[in-house]
Amino acid sequence: MRPGVVRGFYLVAGMLALLLGAIGVVLPLLPTTPFVILAAFCFSRSSERLHQWLLNQRLFGPLIRDWETHGVIPLRIKCLSTTMMLVLVSYPMLFRDFDWRLKALAGLSILGALLYIWSRPSVPAPNASRQSA
């Protein structure tokens, strides 16, 4: 594939991820942080200007910088993510009637996300820089 096409793909994907993240700010069922991190990844491969703009945002900039530099998810974000996932999935899992296989799939998805989140460090290792994601 030509570099311009790949760069364009990453730019469009970054914009879409950022849009979904913005919608997630007001729509509680849509997670914001993963979409913003995805947007930062896409912008880092398509537009240095947009990537820097995102890194300099007051709310998400420090989280993205910690992730890109050290692979860190701060403890307060882990706790918030865990709480939101469990609260938002609890009602449909407990009080809505739908196929048990869908409930199992939802439960496994949440479990996988929680295992990944809690497997990441909460603070940067002393004198360490992130080697790979």
Note the pLDDT of residue 52. 95
Which region among 74-78, 89-93, 124-128 has the lowest average model confidence (pLDDT)? 124-128
Note the pLDDT of residue 131. 52
Residue 67: band (very low, low, confident or very high) from pLDDT cuts 50, 70, 90? confident
85 and 60 assigned to the same domain: no
Note the pLDDT of residue 133. 47
79 and 132 assigned to the same domain: yes
9 and 60 assigned to the same domain: yes
Q: Which domain holds residue 115?
A: 72-133
* Residue among 73, 8, 3, 89 at smallest CA distance from 36: 73
27 and 11 assigned to the same domain: yes
Domain end among 25, 54, 70: 70
Q: What is the 3-state secondary structure (H, E, C) of 52-110?
A: HHHHCCCCCHHHHHHHHHHCCCCHHHHHHHHHHHHHHHHHHHHHCCCCHHHHHHHHHHH
Greater confidence, 41 or 92? 41
Residues 54-71, mean pLDDT to the nearest whole number: 88
pLDDT tens digits, residue range 118-128?
999 998 888 65
pLDDT tens digits, residue range 3-57?
889 999 999 999 999 998 888 777 766 677 778 888 999 999 999 999 999 999 9
51 and 114 assigned to the same domain: no
What is the number of structural domains in the chain? 2
Q: Are 83 and 114 in contact (CB under 8 A)?
A: no
Domain end among 70, 91, 125: 70
**What torsion, rounded to 10 degrees, do the Cα atoms 91, 97, 100, 104 define?**
-20
Greater confidence, 129 or 90? 90
Is pLDDT above 60 for 97? yes
Note the pLDDT of residue 28. 61
Domain end among 51, 70, 89: 70
